[in-house]
Structure 1
Amino acid sequence: MTNITIFNVDDNIKNLLQQRASKNGRSLEEEVKEILRLVLSENQKPPVNLVNIIEKRFAHLGNFELGEITREPMRPAPNE
């Protein structure tokens, strides 16, 4: 296991950490480990699937199909 030393921690932050540790029945070191574990595990969530979010947002409208959009040919690139 690796040791980490953090220098120049603001006194207010240290006091808040100590209060939180006491409230949770942990040592200051254990509280910091728990905070790091929680924050880092939150970042491991799978990426957001935009299609699923849109489907959920409009699910109350029921099933319906949108017609295919007819496309026009691409315009030629402008000449400079």
Structure 2
Amino acid sequence: MASMTIRNIDEQLKSRLRVQAAHHGRSMEDEARDILRAALSTRTETAGQSLIDSIRSRISPLGGVDLTLPARETIQDRVDLGA
């Protein structure tokens, strides 16, 4: 197994990790390992998808919205400012 050292962690973040680890009855190291495992395992679901496909797959279960689009107006002639 590899080991890793994480430096410059905000004290508030470290405190939250300590409390969460105690709540789950494990060490801070085990808690951090579980958080990393969970965060990185959800990433594989969207691997290989384009950004728009990834967004669409997350939004589409929420349903769509029917928009009423206003009628397009004809393009007006350009004004000649050179005269």
In which range does the TM-score fall when normalised by the shorter chain? Answer: 0.5 to 0.7
Matched position secondary structure for 2:44: coil
Task: Give the match for residue 34 of structure 1.
Answer: 34
Deviation (angstroms), 1:18? 0.3
Structural mapping, 1:1-12, within 5 Å: 1-12=1-12
Structure 1 or 2: more helix by fraction: 2
1:21-58 residue CA offsets vs partner (Å, 9 max, x unmatched): 0001110000000000000001011555x69x58xx58
TM-score by length of 1: 0.58
- Give structure 1 regions of 4+ aligned residues with deviation exceeding 3 angstroms: none
Deviation (angstroms), 1:8? 1.1
Between Structure 1 and Structure 2, how many residues are aligned?
A: 56
Task: Give the match for residue 22 of structure 1.
Answer: 22
TM-score by length of 2: 0.56
Alpha-carbon distance in structure 1 between the residues aligned to 2:8 and 2:27: 20
